[in-house]
Structure 1
Amino acid sequence: MDKLGDHISHQFDEELEEIRNRVMQMGGIVEQQLSDAIKALTDRDEALAEIVVTSDYKVNALEVQIDEECTQIIAKRQPAASDLRLVIAVIKTITDLERIGDEAERIGRMAMHFAEAKSDNKMITGIIHLGERVHHMLHDSLDAFARMDVERAIEVAHQDLKIDKQYESILRELMTYMMEDPRSIPEVVNMMWSARALERIGDRARNICEYVIYLVKGKDVRHISLEQVERDTRKE
């Protein structure tokens, strides 16, 4: 390739690296947002919960910015093969990150309500434990994305099954509270919404793992069992 071609290729590599870095920046903000939401819920910290709610604009702004950069790359560079998969994976990932931010904001609003209502600690405990597990999964999914690590992505995706089971257990427990004390129904419904938001974040984190597999292996695994993905990966 001539010097002009080398220059264009190098510039293109820098552009791809830049959007990857921006995804990690966005992921870091979302991860902190979730961490703060869970802490606000744990400590009944209304001020911290308000910070979570009012900081969501940062996530939204980054999604718009990264999406525009991806559009420009597709229009100018017409990427193919693995480069195109990277751009597509980035677009999908930032969509899920933005929605995780929305769920974290929802939890922040619930934390503000719980702080005012002085909710029963026993009812919140299970949600807090679920939140810690979901936060850990989000962190690990972003780590898999940063490293483009397929094996790690599969391992992290498995965590979603445990989160689903824990979520179902919390729902059963909260239903028991409502049956024992009908006066608790409004409070318990809010807790159910918080648990639901955390369960959805787990689903989004799993999506990010699936994008890693797509990016590295070129396979869309959204509707394939994790066991099948593992078998296919071992064959390669």
Structure 2
Amino acid sequence: MQRGYPRIRFQKKLDRLKEEVDTMGQATLNAYRDAFSTFIEYDPELVKNVMETNRKVHEMGYQIEHNAMSIIAAEQPVAGDLRFIEASIKVSSHLKRICGLASNIAEVARHVKDEEIPEKPMFDLQRMADIVDGMVSKSLAAFLAKNMNVARELHRDDDKVDDLFDHALKEITKSMFQDKESISYSIYLLFLARFLERIADRAENIGDRTIFMITCEKQQFTLEKKQE
């Protein structure tokens, strides 16, 4: 019984680390949803919530890094356990960035709250936002469940977001040339499209990190290296 105790204690530490990443991920997803909701229908309380959640998520990230490093120092894990701990640090870093981008979206909402956005760009941005929402949710689920199939779906989803981003860019730019008065808010729509595209990239990176954690396939990190 005593011989197995260190492993039980170690597993409990890993389970706690996993729970911390899950909590951080759910807070990040909620911040993203609140941010886009207040872009659709401005709500100063939601903006305040997003900013506060961003602060808390960053604190969670630092705590996860500290706890992960403590486990490595105390337990000296190897192989799969070490990859999970390293992945938890990396995933928390991506979640911090996603939440930061969510706060940027909330800032965009402040600038366009009194503008009447044309139907076409709103439709494209909403489609992007819906796919990105699913990507963030999928990436977290894939990591927590160590589900490679779900992680691989993120590449296809990211391609869809990239296509929508290119289309939105063309449409918004075209409207700026056709209606000079739209330039003041169209700039913020371009920012919004870029923020959504970058969140999608981060979600894809979480999926890539999940695949690496499971298979140790190093070729998965092209986008991640590009962003760092």
Please classify the TM superposition score into its range, dividing by the shorter chain length: over 0.9
2:196 matches 1:198: yes
Q: C-alpha displacement at 1:221, in angstroms?
A: 3.1
Task: Name the SS for the 2:206 alignment partner.
Answer: helix
Gap change, CA 1:223 and 1:142, over 3 Å in 2: closer
Distance in 2 between the 1:101 and 1:76 partners?
31
Distance in 2 between the 1:153 and 1:65 partners?
25
Task: Name the SS for the 1:222 alignment partner.
Answer: helix
Give the number of aligned pairs: 222
Q: C-alpha displacement at 1:169, in angstroms?
A: 0.5
Q: Which residue of 1 aligns with 2:131?
A: 133
Checking the alignment, whether the CA contact within 8 Å between 1:93 and 1:208 is kept in structure 2 is yes
What's the CA shift string for 1:60-116, capped at 9, x where partnerless? 11001000001101111111100110011111100000000000000011112221x
Q: Identify which of 91, 94, 98 aligns with 2:92.
A: 94
Distance in 1 between the 2:110 and 2:96 partners?
21
Q: C-alpha displacement at 1:41, in angstroms?
A: 1.1
Bigger mean CA offset, 45-54 vs 90-99: 45-54
2:175 matches 1:161: no
Checking the alignment, whether the CA contact within 8 Å between 2:158 and 2:200 is kept in structure 1 is yes
**Unpaired segments of 5 or more residues in structure 2?**
224-228
Q: Which residue of 2 aligns with 1:26?
A: 24
Root-mean-square deviation (Å): 1.6
Q: Which residue of 2 aligns with 1:12?
A: 10
Amino acid at match of 2:219: V
Bigger mean CA offset, 126-135 vs 45-54: 45-54
Alignment of 1:116-127 (within 5 A): 117-122=114-119, 123-127=121-125
TM-score by length of structure 1 reads 0.89
Distance in 1 between the 2:125 and 2:75 partners?
46
Q: C-alpha displacement at 1:223, in angstroms?
A: 4.4
Q: Which residue of 2 aligns with 1:233?
A: none
Amino acid at match of 1:222: Q
Q: C-alpha displacement at 1:50, in angstroms?
A: 2.8
Q: Matched residues, percent identical?
A: 28
Bigger mean CA offset, 184-193 vs 169-178: 184-193
What's the CA shift string for 1:154-199, capped at 9, x where partnerless? 1223210111000110000000111101222221111111110010
Q: C-alpha displacement at 1:224, in angstroms?
A: 6.4
Checking the alignment, whether the CA contact within 8 Å between 1:23 and 1:90 is kept in structure 2 is yes
Checking the alignment, whether the CA contact within 8 Å between 1:53 and 1:106 is kept in structure 2 is no
Q: Which residue of 2 aligns with 1:65?
A: 63
TM-score by length of structure 2 reads 0.92
Q: C-alpha displacement at 1:222, in angstroms?
A: 2.7
Checking the alignment, whether the CA contact within 8 Å between 2:28 and 2:53 is kept in structure 1 is no
Amino acid at match of 2:117: D
Task: Name the SS for the 1:54 alignment partner.
Answer: helix
Distance in 1 between the 2:72 and 2:193 partners?
38
Bigger mean CA offset, 159-168 vs 177-186: 177-186
Q: Which residue of 2 aligns with 1:221?
A: 219
